[in-house]
Amino acid sequence: MDIDDNEIDFSIDRRYGIGLKFTLEDGSECISIYKDGFPRKAKLDITSWRGISIGATHYYGKIYFYSLSHKLITVGPEEKRFHKPGDIMSTTGRGDDRKPKQMSSLRIHITRKLTKKEISERPDRWEAYSVGDHTDCFNSEGEVTRAAKRVFGKVFGKGWVLVVSEDVYDKSEDCWEERDKVLLIGT
């Protein structure tokens, strides 16, 4: 489903998916938690095929927020060997068929509408498209970031922060590491 950011009529509360109880296959009872504290992070991922694929010129963007962790309330026979009540565990891949869907990762593809100008400048590229059709192709990282900020501002409110990862060289460790840079704080 394509949605124009002017048509967004929903928001995602910071407590979305938190506090849901569920039972693993071995009978262990769990509750979903967000262990990283607030504000909760939504991450902008910007990708491109530029420099990889011949003729690639576009950038693409997605906003993610990741699956929640869960805390063991009671421990079933399988988990008892390794865990005790109160242990906090990653939910990814564990009890996926039993955990509430609200605990899963969510991603929003950032799109924009095509203009008459770009269709007329590259008719071969946009042959099957019409003016106003949605595309996830952007002409620069800045365009992706601006569109993502608009979407974030409408979908995520107080208690959320939009971040983007940057590779930073750590001289003391003599290596590159990924750090989050805050782009926008929900209001």
- The pLDDT tens digits of the residues spanning 125-157 come to 889 999 999 999 998 989 999 999 999 988 888
Q: Looking at the predicted structure, is the pLDDT value of residue 37 above 60? A: yes
In 3D space, the residue among 66, 46, 72, 45 whose CA is nearest the CA of residue 58 turns out to be: 46
Return the higher-pLDDT residue of 35 and 74: 74
Q: Report strand pairing: 134-135 vs 112-113.
A: antiparallel
CB distance 130 to 52 below 8 Å: no
pTM of the full structure: 0.75
What is the number of alpha carbons within 13 Å of residue 182 lying toward its C-beta? 8
Written as one string, the DSSP assignment of 163-186 is: EEEEEEEETTTTEEEEEEEEEEE-
64-117 pLDDT tens trace: 887 678 888 988 888 788 888 998 877 655 555 666 777 777 788 899 999 999
Using the Cα atoms of residue 176, residue 166, residue 186 and residue 9 in order, give the sign of their dihedral: negative
What is the number of alpha carbons within 13 Å of residue 71 lying toward its C-beta? 10
